[in-house]
C-alpha cells in the first residue's frame, strides 16, 4: 500500500508498536469509568468490581492530589460526584480518603484499583493532566504500576503524557486520546499530526462521533490499534465494530 506524505511522516516520527505489545487491546470491551449505573457511581470500586464480574476491561480516570498521589476520579472539581466542593487537586490523598461518593465509598487511589483488579482484566488509565507540567502525575502512575503484571495502558488527550512515558517508562503501553470536535479543518489536521508525533503512541483512543476518520484509519492501517469512546449502544456499536479495534462503552 502506498502511503501519503503525511502517513510517511507519521510512520517516521511516530513508529507503530510491535503487534504483541498491543495485542491485548484488540477485541476487548472496556467499561467507561467502570460498569456504573444507579447506586453505583462512576470510577468507584463497585463499578470496577461489576466490570470484572462481567469479564470486561476497565477504563478509568486518574488525576493528582495535592501531594501528587494518583487518585481515580474524573472531574477536576469534587462537586458533581461527592458531597464536597472544590478542586480535587487542593486536597491531599489522606484528605481525599475522607471524601465520599454517592454510595459511601471514597475515591480510590490508583494503587487500590490495581489491587482490586489483580490482572484479571485489561485496564486503561486516562491520565487527566492539564496543559502544565505532567511529570509529577506521570511519575505517580509509573510508581503505582511498578510490579503490576496485568495488561495495562496509559492514555491522555495531552500528548505530553505519552511523551513522558515514552521517555521514562517505555515498557508501559501508551495512547493518545483524540477528538476532532470543532477542529476538522486544515489547522485541526495539523494539530493532530503534531500531537501524534509528540506523543509517539502505541494506540489511539478516538471519539466515536468522529468515526470514520481518515486520520484514525490511516494510523490503524499502519499498525496502531484504534479504540473508541464513548460507545452507548445502537449506531455507535456498529460504528465501533466497523472502524475500531475495541469500544470503550457505557451500558444502558
Q: Indicate the pLDDT class of residue 130, thresholds 50, 70 and 90.
A: confident
Q: What is the mean pLDDT of residues 39-44?
A: 98
Domain count for the chain: 1
Range of the domain at 127: 5-249
For residue 3, the model assigns a pLDDT of 62
For residue 129, the model assigns a pLDDT of 86
Q: What is the pLDDT of residues 171-185, one digit of tens each?
A: 999 999 999 988 888
Query: What's the pTM value of the predicted model, to 2 decimals?
Result: 0.96
Instruction: Look at residue 166 and tell me whether its pLDDT is greater than 70.
Output: yes
Q: What is the mean pLDDT of residues 142-149?
A: 97
Q: Indicate the pLDDT class of residue 2, thresholds 50, 70 and 90.
A: low
For residue 4, the model assigns a pLDDT of 73
Per-residue H/E/C for the chain:
CCCCHHHHHHHHHCCCCCHHHHHHHCCCCEEECCCCECCECCCCHHHHHHHHHHCCEEEEEEEECCCCCEEECCCCECCCCECCCCEHHHCCHHHHCCCCECCCCCCCEHHHHHHHHCCCCCEEEEECCCCCCCHHHHHHHHHHHCCCCCCEEEEECCHHHHHHHHHHCCCCEEEEEECCCCCCCHHHHHHHHHHHHHHCCCEEEEEHHHCCCHHHHHHHHCCCCEEEEEECCHHHHHHHHHHCCEEEECCC
Q: Indicate the pLDDT class of residue 133, thresholds 50, 70 and 90.
A: confident
Q: Which domain CATH number covers 140?
A: 3.20.20.190
Q: What is the mean pLDDT of residues 74-98?
A: 97
Instruction: Look at residue 58 and tell me whether its pLDDT is greater than 80.
Output: yes
For residue 183, the model assigns a pLDDT of 84
Amino acid at each position: 500500500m502506498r502511503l501519503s506524505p503525511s502517513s510517511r511522516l507519521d510512520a517516521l516520527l511516530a513508529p507503530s508498536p510491535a503487534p504483541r505489545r498491543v495485542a491485548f487491546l484488540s477485541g476487548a470491551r472496556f467499561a467507561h469509568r467502570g460498569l456504573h449505573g444507579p447506586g453505583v457511581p462512576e470510577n468507584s470500586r463497585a463499578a470496577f468490581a461489576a466490570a470484572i464480574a462481567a469479564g470486561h476491561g476497565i477504563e478509568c480516570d486518574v488525576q493528582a492530589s495535592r501531594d501528587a498521589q494518583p487518585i481515580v476520579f474524573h472531574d477536576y472539581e469534587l462537586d458533581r460526584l461527592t458531597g464536597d466542593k472544590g478542586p480535587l487537586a487542593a486536597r491531599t490523598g489522606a484528605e481525599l480518603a475522607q471524601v465520599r461518593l454517592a454510595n459511601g465509598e471514597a475515591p480510590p487511589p490508583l494503587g487500590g484499583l490495581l489491587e482490586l483488579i489483580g490482572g484479571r482484566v485489561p485496564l486503561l488509565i486516562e491520565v487527566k493532566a492539564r496543559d502544565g507540567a505532567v511529570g509529577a502525575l506521570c511519575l505517580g502512575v509509573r510508581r503505582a504500576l511498578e510490579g503490576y503484571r496485568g495488561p495495562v495502558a496509559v492514555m491522555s488527550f495531552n500528548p505530553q503524557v505519552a511523551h513522558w512515558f515514552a521517555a521514562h517508562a517505555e515498557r508501559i503501553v501508551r495512547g493518545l486520546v483524540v477528538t476532532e470536535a470543532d477542529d476538522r479543518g486544515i489547522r485541526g489536521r495539523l494539530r493532530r499530526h503534531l500531537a501524534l508525533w509528540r506523543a509517539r503512541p502505541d494506540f489511539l483512543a478516538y471519539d466515536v462521533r468522529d468515526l470514520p476518520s481518515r486520520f484514525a484509519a490511516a494510523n490503524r492501517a499502519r499498525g496502531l490499534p484504534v479504540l473508541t469512546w464513548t460507545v452507548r449502544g445502537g449506531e455507535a456499536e456498529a460504528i465501533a465494530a466497523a472502524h475500531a479495534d475495541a469500544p470503550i462503552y457505557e451500558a444502558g
